[in-house]
Amino acid sequence: MNFTGITIIFINRQSVCKFSLFKNVSDGTVSYKEITRSFFVQELSEQNKPEVDIVIMPNVPLFAVASLIKVANNETLEKFMDAMDELEEENPQEVFIQNTVHKMLWGYDNPLTSLGDSLGMGNAKPKEESSDGPDKFGLMMGKNDTPAKSVRINTGEDDPSKMGQVQANNNKLFYGAWDLECDKISGKQFNSITSNLTMDTELEFSYQEMCRSLKFVADEKVVIEGVDGIKFIIHPDLLNYEAPENKCFCTRPDGEECKGWGYFELESCVGGLPIVTSLPHFLDSNAGDYFTMVEGFAPDPDLHKTTMILEPTLGFPLLINVKVQINLKITKSSLTDSLMNMPIGEGEEMFLPLFWLDAGMNDPDEEYYNKIKSALEAPEKAAGLVLIIGSAFLLIQLVLFFGICACLVKSKVGTEEAK
């Protein structure tokens, strides 16, 4: 399989609305609800149009049910296979399907999502009910204009270092995905501010999409537009299954041990979907056994590393680039003939890249840096800056990899070669 490096870029701006604020005096926390909305930005997306551009990508629900049947009990499996046989007669499921970029991301009708409910796929986050027929499935579904979720965070009144620390999501103290020692919700909100940073500082942010926290360590001191900053990178053991603290994140249904580093399996977090996350192009990964059948990777730290540059005194962001690649874990399966004919060996697994995300604040204007300089000279002015810190996470650049297995196409011009 050849990974050609052709990309199509779609830019979305994301807004997060917080409301129904309530202060919990008894424990020094604040509760509120929030809802996220995404807006496509055509002028930043070259000539690409997500509702027109056609791609061919893996049939994710098909691979999901193929994975879930491995752990289904006999009664459930028998009922599911009867329904699957009927579906195959009426609507044979292919390994790769064609659709617009918009539908692949935000939802399209797929009868397998209804059948998958009986296997537990109903707990998967990227699906929702469709009033027009079968359930819908989308890789980004559930991340745009969805029902508001509740969040409870520490105010920092008793201990400023705890300001922004997430205490609960939707009134839950645990993610409900891992063994108990890894499952407790921890870390700060991404848009919270930590002041008085040093080269010894470690940052930890709660990340609901991976059902875990993300840890960052200081890498080097830098200067941007005349403002001193500290560059933070992800902790070297964050995606390392060899690290003892990560053993409890391995919950493979077959009981097999998770090995290596540079990737993170999300099945327990997303309702059994065989989704794996990594850095783009599998940067800093030794999981070669899982993607050696896909050619054309070109990992580059300058392009694919996740970094945050923060002003150390007040903690304001100077530059932020959070980069995540979403991959599909595929295996042979007797579920359908198309899955049995996959070009991999019996019992082998392969990670097939679907797309990668670049989220953050990439190019603040000069006025932003001037406001930080003013706040450093007169700290009483810093309060106004806090209101715009959320802008650091309002720009999401979505880069889809096309040409995988020579199966991905585009309906019109506008592609560019990936660097």
- 30 Cβ contact list (under 8 Å, min separation 6): 21, 22, 23, 24, 152, 153, 155
322 forms bridges with which residues in the sheet? 359
Residues 150 and 119: their CA atoms lie apart, in Å, by 28
In a 13 Å sphere around the CA of 93, the CA atoms on its Cβ side amount to: 27
Residue 291: pLDDT band (50, 70, 90) is low
**Of the listed ranges 16-20, 255-259, 343-347, the one predicted with least confidence:** 343-347
Angle among Cα 2, 357, 52 to the nearest 5 degrees reads: 75
- Beta-strand runs (E) in 336-414: 349-361, 395-402
* pLDDT tens string 356-402: 888 777 778 888 888 889 888 886 656 555 544 544 444 444 444 43
pLDDT winner (highest mean) among 102-111, 127-136, 393-402: 102-111
The distance of Cα 93 from the centroid of its chain, to the nearest Å, equals: 27
Q: Looking at the predicted structure, is the pLDDT value of residue 349 above 50?
A: yes
pLDDT for 124 equals 44
Residue 276: pLDDT band (50, 70, 90) is very high
- The tokens for 127 are 């699906």
> What rounded mean pLDDT belongs to the chain?
79
Residues 312 and 252: their CA atoms lie apart, in Å, by 40
Higher pLDDT, 12 or 419: 12
- The tokens for 331 are 């295996």
Residues 29 and 157: their CA atoms lie apart, in Å, by 9
Question: Domain residue spans in the chain?
Answer: 6-15+34-147+195-417
pLDDT for 186 equals 93
Q: How many helices (H) and strands (E) does the chain have?
A: 10, 19
* pLDDT tens string 220-242: 999 999 999 999 999 999 999 99
pLDDT for 197 equals 95
Residues 111 and 74: their CA atoms lie apart, in Å, by 22
**Of the listed ranges 85-94, 101-110, 116-125, 180-189, the one predicted with least confidence:** 116-125
Cα dihedral across residues 116, 122, 123, 127: positive or negative: positive
pLDDT for 395 equals 40
* pLDDT tens string 159-218: 888 888 999 999 999 999 998 889 999 999 887 778 899 999 999 999 988 999 999 999
